[in-house]
Structure 1
């Protein structure tokens, strides 16, 4: 399937010289997935809500300051390749071209709606993220924003004093709160200055109850519920829904699952691929394959490598966080690490991943030994 009939000619665009104050008002009024940025009529990139929430840029700053480079997509590109490009570009929207002319845009939602009926072959358990980051309901919004930035994520399950699910806080909640115009402020409005806003408890802004999914339900049903409720993610809880937070499943997780292949070569997804300098995709694939091969009984179905850039730098080289996650026949295995530059961060994460793989291998070897020993004892 290609995206010829999925792409839409309807989109919002601004010039690189447009004020960010106006861009924020467009997000509030139109609620777009992202805004296309033009430079003298030529495509320059996109601005998404993540760029807005991750910045403290003044309203008078030009849009160019937050413009993210997102690759152009041919209108007849295969839907799986487009899904890969959106995930790797860490974007929910990309410009679609027909030859040299911009036709429109393709969005994450448009792809998921087009393949919705095919998602009943997957279960939530197969694709959700289990290394979930949470926030306490009495923690401050400033702490929540720092946690979102630190982990490069878009939502935080909110837990109560007993570590049970109390609600959800998303970047959209924060964007909506931060761009309220003065006309909507009343005497009781607690927006105030930035410092006061950051001191507000998460409880004041979270959505409760949070929408949930269980591990055993189909991805189709879960995504249909996301569309129905106009949300981008679900908190995964046990079948009995006792409030324990198992993880999170987002539309991006589903989009990533569309890129899974049945080829002999390991399927590897790289998020924020633009941070790579000396590394290449082939180098990453070879390194992860070498680690996985140290445990021959384990089959790797999919690998996801995610890079996230921090503000800290050393001699001009940014501090990078790298997370590697493998979906295997023996469950999920992961490794993460930080370093100056993507290559350094990748190798730190790779070392941790290797230790985790060998730990699983050693554990199973110990279990087999114990089983053999018990059989021998029973024969006495």
Structure 2
């Protein structure tokens, strides 16, 4: 299934000189996740709703101060590639470029609606996160923001005070940022954007307080902002039904409960997108350079070793893995000295390490050990009910259907 089947040719663009205040208004007046930014008529990048809400830039600043590059696709790319790029680029909108000209966009919801019939071959249990980070309804907004930042997540199930699985709601990063930004704009005596960074909770003073209301919004409980857990799902429910519920309620996630109604997991639209990027054996695809030096390892073995390491740390998702092998002249008992370089692009950041060993297996193990130490220490190098047509289903999830 190609991009041309889901392209949206009706889109608005904003010049890089557009004031941030106008961008904020565009997000408030429409259900948008990102805005397209141009420079001298040519596509430059996007400004996301999250970036605008969490920015401490003054509203007089221009769009260029927040613009960031995102991957692009062509009309001939398929939906799998689009899903992979959305996850890797942390974006819910991809520009479609033809001869460097912007001709359309692909949006997450449009992509998911198109592949919805094929999601019926998967269940919630196949993609849900079951090691869950939660907050209590009495947790402060400031602490919730800190949790979003440290855990690098965007959704938090809310549980009743003193419990771990009695779910009473859900709160998203957007919910908190929008609430804080809206209340600060309504307050008197200052420009909230000049005094507060809502993404970190940093308060630099200067904004006034609404009458009868505390100026320190971040001390308010999450219960003031959370939404009810409408349309929960079960582990054995098919993903096409899960997506239908998300679309019905305009949600980007769904709480997973057991037969007693207790919290057991969470599934997001990102999880649905990620299912499209699985390889046939659902194993991490590893790009290998110098594969002719692989005498004691296999591509599958490298993937298994990498996943065994990253699986230890809060279900870290590897978006892309690259392994480089280079042989040196030195030998030990006929075994060449090999340099192994491992690069892991993950939802927690970029990890890179190199090491030397005698033989490909030894070198790779040493480099992967260095990667594991980086992960443990957090040392990143920067910054995841229509029946399907059988033929199309085979193209999208045929490997699953054949099991």
Quick one: which of 305, 315, 318 aligns to 2:318?
305
Q: Secondary structure at the match of 1:11?
A: coil
TM-score (norm 2): 0.66
- The gaps in structure 1 that reach 5 residues or longer are 269-279, 297-301, 308-321, 326-335, 355-380
Counterpart Cα distance in 2 of 1:294 and 1:48: 32
Matched residues in 2 for 1:7 and 1:181: separation?
Answer: 37
Report the Cα distance in structure 1 between the residues aligned to 2:234 and 2:369, rounded to whole angstroms: 34
Distance 2:104 2:306 in 1: 46
| 2:209 maps to 1:197 | no
The aligned residue for residue 15 of structure 1 is 15
**Within the alignment, does 1:67 sit opposite 2:85 as a pair?**
no
Counterpart CA distance in 1 for 2:253 and 2:53 is 18
Q: Equivalent residues in 2 for 1:277-292 (5 A)?
A: 282=288, 289-290=301-302, 292=304
1:127 matched residue in structure 2: 127
Secondary structure in structure 2 of the residue aligned to 1:342: strand
Task: Say whether 1:118 aligns with 2:118.
Answer: yes
2:146 maps to 146
- Residues 235-255 of structure 1: CA deviation (Å, up to 9, x unaligned): 1121331x3x32211111001
- 1:261-319 deviation digits (Å, cap 9, x = unpaired): 216x9434xxxxxxxxxxx9548x989843726999xxxxx993169xxxxxxxxxxxx
Deviation at 1:35, TM superposition (A): 0.5
For the pair 1:45 / 2:45, whether they are aligned, the reply is yes
Output the aligned Cα RMSD. Answer: 3.7
Q: Give 1:174's aligned residue.
A: 176
3-state DSSP of counterpart to 2:3: coil
TM superposition shift of 1:17: 2.1
Verify the 8 A CA contact 2:46 2:67 in the aligned structure 1.
yes
Q: Deviations over 1:47-104 (max 9, x none)?
A: 2223234433332232222222102210221111111111111110011123332112
Cα distance 1:132–1:183, how it changes in 2: closer, same or farther (>3 A)? closer
Q: SS of 1:83's equivalent?
A: helix
Structure 2 residue matching 1:290: 3-state secondary structure = helix
Question: In 2, Cα distance between the equivalents of 1:235 and 1:189?
Answer: 37
Aligned residues: 305
**CA separation in 2, counterparts of 1:172 and 1:294?**
32
